[in-house]
Amino acid sequence: MGISIQMYTLRDFMKTTSALDTTLARVAAIGYKTVQISIPPFLGAQELQTLLAAHGLRADSVMAPTATIPDQLDPICRTAAILGTDTVRTDGIGHAYTRSADGFRRYAAILQEAGQRLRGRGLNFMYHNHAIEYTNFTEGTGMSILLGETDPDCVWFQPDVHHIAAAGLEPSQALLAFKGRCAYVHMQGYAIIPGEGFDPQVPRRTVPVGTGNLNWPGIVAACRQIGVRLYVVEQDYCIGDPFDEITQSYQALLQLGVADH
C-alpha cells in the first residue's frame, strides 16, 4: 500500500518551475513519496521527472484526456516511460453523455476503445468518477453502465469517496462494486458546512481525511477488500492552509493503518 497526493490540491503553489520545486520539497518533507500530477505547461516530461527525482518523488500516473488517446498513443507511451509509470488516468465524462443511459453506454464504448489501445501497449487505464455517474436510469445508474459495459482488463476506475457521498451513497459500501477494477482511490473528505443550509440542499465542503462525515475506518476496510494499492489524498478546495491539511490527511491515513512504502 502507498499514499499519494493529487497535486491539483496545491495548484496555487505550482505556477512556475521555482514554485513547483518548492512545493515538491514541502510535499516530500511531509512524507509523501508519490504524486498524482499533470505535466505543467512550462515543463516537459523529462524536466518534470528530473524535479520529482530531485525530491525523491515519483509520478503515480500520466494524465490523458480520453478523446485524445487513440491518436496520441506514442506520446502517451513516451511520457509514461519517462515518468516511470504504467498507469494512465483520464478525465470525467462529458455532460453531453450524462443525460441518458444511452449516453453512458456510448461513453463506455469510448472508454473501452481507449483502454484496449493502452492495454495493447502495456499500460493500465483508469477513469475518475464524480457524483454525476450515479444518476439513476431505468437500466441502472450511469456507474453501473460504465462498469458493466467495459472490460475489467482494459478499464479500471479511480473512485472518489467525496463524490460517492455527494451522490447519496455510503462510500464503504459503494466501493465494493469496484472489486478487481480499482488500484487507486481518491481520499477526499466530505463535511457539512456547520450552521448553513437546509434539506434537501445542505452545503458541503471538502475536508482532510479523518475529519468530516465519512466512515473512514469502513472506507479503508473496503479499499483493502477491493484491492486498492494507492490511497490518493485530494482536496478540491481547502479551508485552511493546504499544506497543513494534506499533512493532516497523510497522518490520518497512517493512523488508519495505511502503510506508505
In this structure, of 27-36, 99-108, 132-141, 199-208, the range with the lowest mean pLDDT score is 199-208
Domains of the chain, first to last: 2-255 (3.20.20.150)
- Read off φ and ψ for residue 46, nearest 5 degrees: -65, -40
For position 195, what pLDDT does the model report? Answer: 75
What CA dihedral angle connects 239, 244, 246 and 249, to 10 degrees?
Answer: -100
Q: Residue 207's beta-bridge partner residues? A: 189
User: Would residue 31 be called left, alpha or beta, if left means φ above 0 and alpha means ψ between -120 and 50 degrees?
Assistant: left
Cβ–Cβ < 8 Å for 162, 212: no
DSSP conformational letter for 178: G
Cβ–Cβ < 8 Å for 237, 7: no
- pTM to 2 decimal places: 0.95
Q: What is the pLDDT of residues 103-153, one digit of tens each?
A: 999 999 999 999 999 999 999 999 999 999 999 999 999 999 999 999 999
Q: How far is CA 26 from CA 32, 97, 101, in A?
A: 9, 39, 44
CB atoms within 10 A of CB 236: 15
Q: What is the pLDDT of residues 210-241, one digit of tens each?
A: 999 999 999 999 999 999 999 999 999 999 99
Please provide the distance, in angstroms rounded to a whole number, between the alpha carbons at the two ends of the chain: 7
How is the beta sheet containing 58-59 ordered, strand by strand?
A: 58-59, 34-36, 2-6, 230-233, 184-187
